[in-house]
Amino acid sequence: MISGFDLDKFFGLFLYNRDAPMIFNSGFFLFLFLIFLCIYIRLRKKDNYRIIYVILFSYYFYYKSSGIYFLIMSFVTAWDFFAAKEMYATENKSKRKLLMILSITANLGMLCYFKYTNFFYEMYCNLSGRSFSSFDIFLPVGISFFTFQSMSYTIDIYRKQLVPLDKIQDFAFYISFFPQLVAGPIVRAKDFIPQIHKPLFVSNEMFGRGIFLLISGLFKKAVISDYISVNFVDRIFDNPNLYSGIENLLGLYGYTLQIYCDFSGYSDMAIGIALLLGFHFNVNFDSPYQSASITEFWRRWHISLSSWLRDYLYISLGGNRKGKIRTYINLIITMLLGGLWHGPSLRFICWGAIHGVGLAIHKALIGLFPNLKPSGNKMKPLWRTLGIVFTFHFVCFSWIFFRAESFEIAIDMIKQIFTFFHPEIIVDVLNGYTMVFVVMIAGFVLHFTPKSLENKFIDYTVKMPLIWKAIAVTAVIVFIMQIKSSEILAFIYFQF
């Protein structure tokens, strides 16, 4: 220790800590990113050095999130790179198919081991009458995201929609690129790879939009999501039986906003940071709670995952090419597997089933009543408003199973809402959590803000002088430091 400065603690910040993964809204990441950016800019004309530099930083970023498990990402990278090259080079259909199977098996095998070993072992114990004791298996952060990215690359090559990369460092750059590494969005190879060797160029529009998205994401996560989580939502979901139905319902509305602000906040920051580095990601969230149907919701929510499931699972199952009944079954299977992707639990399967059945019913209704099919936002205002209200509450109901710690707790919450509502205590609840509800109202107002107004704010940020951009970012960071909880909360999707 030097004059009150703990040197060991300082150097400890650079080492892996299982309880403190690297996250965008931490001061330590922002400090490292500024240093990273200074060197990155110096390497802008040295293509190969810049690529290697970003790979090394990305691997360090992942080490800070999952420790030695960065070796898993290295294995996926090497395995799929060479499998894809061999797959593309051979004309033997059987060999190509075998390589594709081996690639998918390796990726899904790792996912199954880390995410589902205890789930399947518990099922086996229940069926065999044996006592269950879970294995201590650490789930590497973001393993689902980088394995899905890698699988999309090999599948596209198998389908001859993509030409394999010549250099393994380019593929490593694509898989490990740190902005989207641990919680998405899932970036397609066909969208990202062409950008790798383009001359590094960040236009004023890209820089301004990147700054706006970084500020927006930080605000969503640290100001809205974390605040309502710590001060209200977590308390309700920890023990719904201690609270009335009205409190449970408000807690559910709170979580509906929390998960959106948490996940879209991360996506905003990932897209913003990528823009600052000269790369474009596709939009991952498009005001999903403004959807007038469950089908529209999945075109606006976690777009990179929903489009991945559509292109690589739903279409592979047959999509809508094998008749109506098969289409409905394919939708339900896709969403069931999407639910299981989120975690090995009955509640996630139930969440997926609710959405799968909802999508199937909506598709059936459109077949019977074509006028129900919305054409963009051209529905009559009344019908669109009713559709938004219904879809919002349908999604809210499904979030109960997604958030509850167990299926039993989810059922308890539903019972409280429908049998112990007590609306007469609403004033007392609002008085007791005034600031929470102010933040919630502000969050929903921002979410339902017209896209045109949001674009005006982006344009204003783009035109803002550099010094004012720096002041705006600093002001948001200082504000967050003042109101944040004592413990930095990890992003919800880190666990997937």
In a domain, 181, yes or no: yes
3-state secondary structure of 280: coil
Would you call 422 a catalytic residue per the annotation?
no
Is there a single domain that holds both residue 83 and residue 232?
Answer: no
1 pLDDT band (50/70/90 cuts)?
very low
Q: Quick one: which of 308, 309, 74 has its CA closest to 172?
A: 74
Is there a single domain that holds both residue 79 and residue 110?
Answer: yes
In a domain, 349, yes or no: no
Average pLDDT, the chain: 87
Is there a single domain that holds both residue 489 and residue 396?
Answer: yes
Selecting among 197, 280, 302, 342, the annotated active-site residue is 342
Is there a single domain that holds both residue 394 and residue 277?
Answer: yes
Looking at 286-323, list the stretches that DSSP marks H as alpha helix, in order from N- to C-terminal side: 294-300, 303-309, 315-317
Q: Quick one: which of 330, 352, 331 has its CA closest to 341?
A: 352
| pLDDT of the residue at 377 | 53
In a domain, 165, yes or no: yes
164 pLDDT band (50/70/90 cuts)?
very high
Is there a single domain that holds both residue 32 and residue 161?
Answer: yes
Rounded to whole angstroms, the Cα distance separating 403 from 320 reads 31
Is there a single domain that holds both residue 392 and residue 412?
Answer: yes
Is there a single domain that holds both residue 212 and residue 185?
Answer: no
Please name the residues in contact with 212: beta carbons below 8 A apart, sequence gap of 6 or more: 272, 457, 458, 461, 462
CA distances to 456, 460, 476 from 463, rounded to whole Å, are 11, 5, 19
| pLDDT of the residue at 398 | 96
**Domains contained in the chain, number:** 2
3-state secondary structure of 148: helix
In a domain, 1, yes or no: no
Give the other-Cβ count within 10 Å of 415's Cβ: 14
Q: What is the DSSP letter of 54?
A: H
Question: Which of 200, 217, 246 is where one domain is finished?
Answer: 200
Is there a single domain that holds both residue 73 and residue 99?
Answer: yes
Taking residues 258-279, report their average pLDDT.
92
Helices (H) and strands (E) in the chain, counts: 24, 0
CA dihedral 98, 100, 105, 110 (to 10 degrees): 140
Q: Identify whether 370 is preceded by a cis peptide bond (ω within 30 of 0).
A: no
Please name the residues in contact with 475: beta carbons below 8 A apart, sequence gap of 6 or more: none
Q: Please, what sign has the CA dihedral across residues 440, 426, 235, 337?
A: negative
Domain that holds residue 397: 205-292+374-495
pLDDT over 80 (residue 373): no
218 pLDDT band (50/70/90 cuts)?
confident
Tokens of 35: 């240093």
Q: Quick one: which of 297, 448, 284 has its CA closest to 362?
A: 297
In a domain, 326, yes or no: no
Give the other-Cβ count within 10 Å of 462's Cβ: 18
Is there a single domain that holds both residue 189 and residue 284?
Answer: no
CA dihedral 173, 174, 179, 182 (to 10 degrees): -110
Q: What are 425-458's pLDDT values in tens digits?
A: 999 999 999 999 999 999 999 999 888 888 888 8
Question: Cα angle at 129 between 127 and 133, to 5 degrees?
Answer: 95
Is there a single domain that holds both residue 243 and residue 274?
Answer: yes
Looking at 404-425, list the stretches that DSSP marks H as alpha helix, in order from N- to C-terminal side: 407-419
Is there a single domain that holds both residue 254 and residue 118?
Answer: no
H-helix or E-strand spanning residue 69: none
Is there a single domain that holds both residue 46 and residue 175?
Answer: yes
In a domain, 452, yes or no: yes
360 pLDDT band (50/70/90 cuts)?
very high
CA distances to 156, 174, 491 from 191, rounded to whole Å, are 12, 10, 25
| pLDDT of the residue at 236 | 95
In a domain, 162, yes or no: yes
Question: Which of 145, 180, 200 is where one domain is finished?
Answer: 200
* Strand partners for 493: none
In a domain, 211, yes or no: yes
Question: Which of 183, 200, 217 is where one domain is finished?
Answer: 200
Contact predicate 244/425, CB 8 Å: yes
